[in-house]
Amino acid sequence: MANADDMLKVAAERTGELAAPGMSSRPSRKVAVLACMDVRLDLYAMLGIERGQAHILRNAGGLVTDDVIRSLSASQRLLGTEEVVVIMHEHCGMNGGSDDEFSEALAADGAHPSWRLGAFTDLDATLRAGLERLRTSPELSARDRIRGFVFDPETGSLRDVESD
Ligand SMILES: [Zn+2]
C-alpha cells in the first residue's frame, strides 16, 4: 500500500502545527547530527532536541560520505553550526554486509555507481574512522567539537565511542 497520498492528507490536516513562521533556518543549538537511517533511532527523543535546534543528516550506516562532508560544510559555513555528533548503532544492517555482493547486484541491473555500499565489520573502528575523517576535513570550519556515540536499540543505551 502506498503511503504518499496518506502523508499528503495528514500534512494538509496539520498545517497549524507544521508551520514555523519566523523560525530561523539556523540551528539554535549550533549542532549537526549524523546518524544511521535505521527506524529504531528516534533522534529527537534520544538527544533531547526539538525542531529548529539541530541539523539532522541520515544515511545508511551513519557513515561519513562525500555528501555528508558537503552537507556539514554547508551546515557550518552557511548556517552556523559548530559541533558535530555522529551516531551509529548496534545491529546495524550495514554491519556484516558485503560491498562486493551489493555492487554485483547493482551491476546486474546495469548500475555502476561511483559509491560503495559502505558495509563494515567493526562498528567502533568504523565510527572512529568517520570521526577522524571529519576532524581532518578542511571543508569543515569547526572541527574541535566532533563526537561519536553508539546506540543499542535493545537496551536504549547510548555510549561515547571514545571513552573507554
Ligand atoms: Zn544502521
- For residue 36, report the distance from its CA to the centre of ligand 1, in Å: 5
- For residue 98, report the distance from its CA to the centre of ligand 1, in Å: 14
Q: Maximum CA pair distance of the chain?
A: 49
Task: Write down all domains in the chain, each with its CATH number in brackets.
Answer: 26-160 (3.40.1050.10)
- For residue 60, report the distance from its CA to the centre of ligand 1, in Å: 6
- What is the grid cell recorded at 153? 536499540
51: nearest Cα among 73, 69, 26, 79: 26
pLDDT of residue 1 exceeding 70, the answer is: no
pLDDT tens for 46-93 read 999 999 999 999 999 999 999 999 999 999 999 999 999 999 999 999
- For residue 38, report the distance from its CA to the centre of ligand 1, in Å: 5
Q: What angle is formed at CA 34 by the lines to CA 56 and CA 147, rounded to 5 degrees?
A: 125
Instruction: Give the list of residues 6+ apart from residue 74 with CB closer than 8 angstroms, or none.
Output: none
Q: What is the β-pairing status of strands 83-89 and 146-152?
A: parallel
If you average pLDDT over residues 104-112, what whole number do you get? Answer: 97
| Contact between 45 and 13 (Cβ < 8 Å) | no
pLDDT of residue 2 exceeding 80, the answer is: yes
DSSP for the chain, please give it.
---HHHHHHHHHHTHHHH--TT--SS-TT-EEEEEE--TT--HHHHHT--TTSEEEEEETTS---HHHHHHHHHHHHTT---EEEEEEETT-TTBT--HHHHHHHHHHTT---SS----BS-HHHHHHHHHHHHHT-TT-S--S-EEEEEEETTTTEEEETT--
pLDDT of residue 111 exceeding 90, the answer is: yes
- For residue 57, report the distance from its CA to the centre of ligand 1, in Å: 13
pTM above 0.75, yes or no: yes
